[in-house]
Amino acid sequence: MEMFKTLFLKAMSLVGVNVPDVVNDDMASDTEERSTEERRDKFAAFAAVEEEVKEEAAEDAAIITEVAETGDGWGAIYDFLAEGKKILAIKAYREMEGASLKEAKEAIDAIIAERGVA
C-alpha cells in the first residue's frame, strides 16, 4: 500500500498536481453533494408546508361557501377569530349578512372589542 501511495504522489508531482489540491477537490465535491442533499431536504419541507397551507385554505374556502349557502355563520366567525383569521371572519360576515366590506370590518372589529376575541 505504501508503494502505491509513493508512486501516486510521484505521478502527481510529475504532472504538476499538488496532492493537497486533489484532497481539497474531493472535499469540495463532498460538500457540494451535502449541500445538494440539504437543498432537497429543504425543498421537501417547503413543499410539505405549502401543501398544508393549500389544504387549510381549501377548508376555509369550504366554510365560507357553507356560510353563504346556509346564512348561518356565527360559529365560523368565532372560530376564525379564535384562530386569528380576521380576514376570513370578515368574509364570512359579508357572505352571511350581505354587508359591504366596510360594514363587515366594523362589525368584526366591534365583536373583537366587545368579546376580546383575536
Percent of the chain scoring above 70 in pLDDT = 69
Distance of CA 116 to the CA centre of its chain: 30
**pLDDT class of 103 with cuts at 50, 70, 90:** very high
Spatial separation of the C-alpha atoms in residues 118 and 111, rounded to whole Å: 10
Q: pLDDT at position 10, please?
A: 66
**pLDDT class of 90 with cuts at 50, 70, 90:** very high
Give me the chain's average pLDDT, please. 78
Percent of the chain scoring above 90 in pLDDT = 17
Spatial separation of the C-alpha atoms in residues 88 and 66, rounded to whole Å: 13
Distance of CA 6 to the CA centre of its chain: 53
Average pLDDT over residues 86-107: 92
18-41 tens-digit pLDDT: 656 555 455 455 556 668 888 888
